[in-house]
Structure 1
Amino acid sequence: MTTLRVAIVDDHAMFRTGVRAEIDGPVDVVAEAEDVDSAVTVIAATQPDVVLLDVHMPGGGGLEVMRRLQARHPGTKFLALSVSDAAEDVIGIIRAGARGYVTKNISGPELLDAIGRVAAGDAVFSPRLAGFVLDAFAGTIEIAQVDEDLDRLTEREREVMRLIARGYAYKEVAKELFISIKTVETHVSSVLRKLQLSSRHELTRWANDRRLI
Structure 2
Amino acid sequence: MLKVFITDDHELYLEGLVLLLNNQSGIEVIGSAFTGESLLSQLPNTEIDILLLDVHLPDIGEEELLKKIREIQPGLKILYLTIMRGTRYIHKLLKYDIQGYLLKNTNIAELTSALETVAGGNKFFSKEINILDTNQDFRNTVTIEDKKVDEILSKREIEVLTLICKEYSNSDIAKKLFLSVSTVETHRKNLIAKLGVNNTVGLVKFALKNKLID
Asked if Structure 1 and Structure 2 have the same fold, meaning a TM-score greater than 0.5 normalized by the shorter chain, the answer is yes
TM superposition shift of 1:14: 0.8
Give the letter for the 1:108 counterpart: I
TM superposition shift of 1:74: 2.5
Counterparts of 1:68-147 in structure 2, within 5 Å, are 68-129=68-129, 131-135=130-134, 138=135, 140-141=136-137, 143=139
8 Å contact kept, 1:53–1:62: no
1:63 matched residue in structure 2: 63
Matched, 1:6 2:1: no
Q: Distance in 1 between matches of 2:84 and 2:98?
A: 15
* Higher mean C-alpha displacement, 25-34 vs 76-85: 25-34
TM superposition shift of 1:80: 0.5
SS in 2 for 1:128: coil
TM superposition shift of 1:8: 0.4
TM superposition shift of 1:5: 0.4
Q: Distance in 1 between matches of 2:178 and 2:89?
A: 21
Q: Distance in 1 between matches of 2:17 and 2:95?
A: 25
SS in 2 for 1:51: strand
Greater fraction helix: 1
SS in 1 for 2:31: strand
- Distance of aligned partners of 1:208 and 1:48 in 2 relative to their CA distance in 1, 3 Å threshold: farther
Which blocks of at least 5 consecutive residues in structure 2 are unaligned? 141-148, 160-176, 192-200, 210-214
Cα deviation code 1:96-144 (max 9, x no counterpart): 2110000111111211111111111111011111x24424xx4x4253x
Matched, 1:169 2:167: no
Q: Distance in 2 between matches of 1:169 and 1:203?
A: 19
TM-score for both structures, normalised by structure 1: 0.66
TM superposition shift of 1:92: 1.4
Cα deviation code 1:61-112 (max 9, x no counterpart): 4433321121331331000010111111111112221100001111112111
Which blocks of at least 5 consecutive residues in structure 1 are unaligned? 146-162, 174-182, 196-201
Q: Distance in 1 between matches of 2:71 and 2:32?
A: 21
SS in 1 for 2:80: strand
Choose which of 13, 16, 19 in structure 1 pairs with 2:14: 16
Give the letter for the 2:11 counterpart: A
SS in 2 for 1:22: helix
2:38 matched residue in structure 1: 38
Larger Rg: 2
- Distance of aligned partners of 1:203 and 1:39 in 2 relative to their CA distance in 1, 3 Å threshold: same
TM-score for both structures, normalised by structure 2: 0.66
Number of residue pairs aligned between Structure 1 and Structure 2: 170
- Distance of aligned partners of 1:73 and 1:33 in 2 relative to their CA distance in 1, 3 Å threshold: same
Matched, 1:205 2:204: yes
Matched, 1:189 2:184: yes
Share of identical aligned residues, percent? 22
Give the letter for the 1:169 counterpart: K
Give the letter for the 1:20 counterpart: V
8 Å contact kept, 1:35–1:61: no
